[in-house]
Amino acid sequence: MRPLLSAILITCATLAQAAMSSFTFPSIDGGEIDLAAWRGQPVLVVNTASRCGYTPQYDGLQELYDTYRDRGLVVLAIPSNDFRQELASDEEVKDFCEVNFGLDFPMTTITSVRGDSAHPFYKWLETETGFAPSWNFNKVLIAPDGSVAATFGSNARPMSRTVTDAITALLD
């Protein structure tokens, strides 16, 4: 019985890594962001918007990144207009984030996170966990093995104990 359970767990971990390694996003800075480049590191993926009541969380996301990046954490912002609160272009989003928040963590181009037009990462996330962003600034913590370690709603502040405890449990 135990060898079978071990085989199932290994298969599940392998599938999680395979799924995570297949996702790429266009970068707001040009080029491509490949999640496979961060295999072995925790990644906090956050769907964002520039004109939302939660937009000040960008400060907390930058603080989180500054606090834990040297230990391996990656914060990935996914600007989305699914809730009709994002600026009109990638250039406007990039300028807004640099001028108002001084962000230096990776960011994608404006990307759909819900419904039929959702990015494949978000479709995978919903299939795997049942979680889909219900508003801006929902957070998904991806474990170093590619599995979903935790999900957080918009109200979860980036530097809250709930979020930081989940992240530190995955570091070194």
The catalytic residue among 52, 148, 149, 159 is 52
Centroid of chain to Cα 53: 19
Centroid of chain to Cα 106: 10
Closest Cα partner for 31 from 117, 90, 72? 90
DSSP state of 27: B
8 Å CB contact between 55 and 108: no
CA atoms within 13 A on the CB side of 128: 21
To the query of whether residue 12 is one of the catalytic residues in this protein, the response is no
Residues involved in catalysis: 52
